Structure 1
Amino acid sequence: MSERRFDELRSTLLVPEENPLVRWFLLTGRRFSVMVALMVLVFVVLIGLSFVLPVEMRRLLTETSTGITLFSSLLSGAILLVSIVVSINSVVLSQEMTDLEDQEQRITASLDYHRRIEGFIQADITPARPADFLQAVMYAVATQVYDLEVIAQDSDNEAFRAEVEEFADYVARDLRQSRSTLGTAKFGTFKVLLAGLNYNYSGQLQAARSLKNKHEGTLSDEAEAQVDEIIDTIKSMGTGREYFKSLYYKRELAHLSTRLLYVSLPVIVFTSYVMLALDAALFPDVSFFGVSPLLISVTFAYTVALAPYLLLTAYIIRASAVTLRTLAAGPFILQKGDSIGSLDWTDAEQSHDWELLEQMDDE
Structure 2
Amino acid sequence: MADVIDEEVPQSDLVHERLRESPIKRWLLLDGSRFALASLLSIVVFSVCTGIGFAGYIPVTDPATATTLVGSIVGGTLPFITIVLAINQLVLSQEMGWPDDLQDRFEGMVSFRRQVETVTGSGISPASPADFLQVIVDAVVDRAEAFRSAVDQSEDTQLVALTEELVDAVETEGQLVRDALEGADFGTFNALSSVLGHFNGVHLYTARTIRTEHGNELSDDALDALDVLIELLGHLAVARQTFKTLYMQHELAYLSKLLLYVGFPTLLGGGIFMMTYIQIIEVLAEPALVVVVAVAVTFVFLPFVVLLAYTLRIATITSRTADFGPFVPRVDLTE
Same fold flag (TM > 0.5): yes
Q: Distance in 2 between matches of 1:30 and 1:58?
A: 34
CA RMSD, 1 decimal:
2.1
Partner of 1:42: 45
Q: Secondary structure at the match of 1:334?
A: coil
Q: Secondary structure at the match of 2:57?
A: coil
Q: Distance in 2 between matches of 1:148 and 1:37?
A: 49
Partner of 2:179: 180
Q: Which runs of 5+ in 2 are unaligned?
A: 1-17
1:262 and 2:261 correspond: yes
The 5 Å alignment of 1:149-160 reads 149-160=148-159
Q: Secondary structure at the match of 1:76?
A: helix
What is the CA-CA distance between 1:121 and the residue it aligns to?
0.9
After TM superposition, the structure 1 stretch with the greater mean CA deviation from structure 2, 206-215 or 137-146, is: 206-215
Q: Secondary structure at the match of 1:314?
A: helix
Shift in alpha-carbon separation, 1:56–1:31, aligned structure 2, 3 A: closer
What is the CA-CA distance between 1:298 and the residue it aligns to?
0.3
Shift in alpha-carbon separation, 1:283–1:25, aligned structure 2, 3 A: farther
Q: Distance in 2 between matches of 1:58 and 1:306?
A: 18
What is the CA-CA distance between 1:284 and the residue it aligns to?
4.3
Partner of 1:28: 31
Partner of 1:296: 291
Q: Secondary structure at the match of 2:186?
A: coil
Shift in alpha-carbon separation, 1:274–1:111, aligned structure 2, 3 A: same
Count of residue pairs the alignment pairs up: 318
One-letter identity of the residue aligned with 1:240: A
Contact persistence 2:201–2:327 (CA under 8 A): yes
Shift in alpha-carbon separation, 1:176–1:197, aligned structure 2, 3 A: same
Partner of 2:211: 212
Partner of 1:148: 147
Q: Distance in 2 between matches of 1:149 and 1:87?
A: 50
Partner of 1:331: 326
Shift in alpha-carbon separation, 1:189–1:109, aligned structure 2, 3 A: closer
Partner of 2:20: 17
Q: Distance in 1 between matches of 2:74 and 2:129?
A: 41
What is the CA-CA distance between 1:95 and the residue it aligns to?
3.6
What is the CA-CA distance between 1:208 and the residue it aligns to?
0.9
Aligned sequence identity (%) = 32
Partner of 1:60: 62
Q: Secondary structure at the match of 2:196?
A: helix
What is the CA-CA distance between 1:56 and the residue it aligns to?
5.5
One-letter identity of the residue aligned with 2:51: G
Bigger radius of gyration among the two: 1
Q: Secondary structure at the match of 1:133?
A: helix
Deviations 1:155-183 (CA, angstroms, capped at 9, x unpaired): 23233222212111111121122111111
Q: Distance in 1 between matches of 2:267 and 2:278?
A: 17
After TM superposition, the structure 1 stretch with the greater mean CA deviation from structure 2, 89-98 or 316-325, is: 89-98
Partner of 1:240: 239
Q: Distance in 1 between matches of 2:298 and 2:243?
A: 35
Shift in alpha-carbon separation, 1:16–1:333, aligned structure 2, 3 A: closer
Partner of 1:347: none
Partner of 2:69: 70
Partner of 1:342: 334
Partner of 1:249: 248
Q: Distance in 2 between matches of 1:319 and 1:22?
A: 15
Q: Distance in 1 between matches of 2:51 and 2:19?
A: 34
Contact persistence 1:148–1:223 (CA under 8 A): yes
Q: Distance in 1 between matches of 2:49 and 2:109?
A: 52
Shift in alpha-carbon separation, 1:157–1:283, aligned structure 2, 3 A: farther
Q: Distance in 2 between matches of 1:294 and 1:57?
A: 10
What is the CA-CA distance between 1:227 and the residue it aligns to?
1.3
One-letter identity of the residue aligned with 2:253: A
Q: Secondary structure at the match of 2:184?
A: coil
1:122 and 2:121 correspond: yes
Contact persistence 2:60–2:66 (CA under 8 A): no
Q: Distance in 2 between matches of 1:91 and 1:169?
A: 41
Shift in alpha-carbon separation, 1:160–1:94, aligned structure 2, 3 A: closer
Q: Distance in 2 between matches of 1:27 and 1:326?
A: 13
What is the CA-CA distance between 1:44 and the residue it aligns to?
1.4
The 5 Å alignment of 1:299-314 reads 299-314=294-309
Shift in alpha-carbon separation, 1:131–1:328, aligned structure 2, 3 A: same
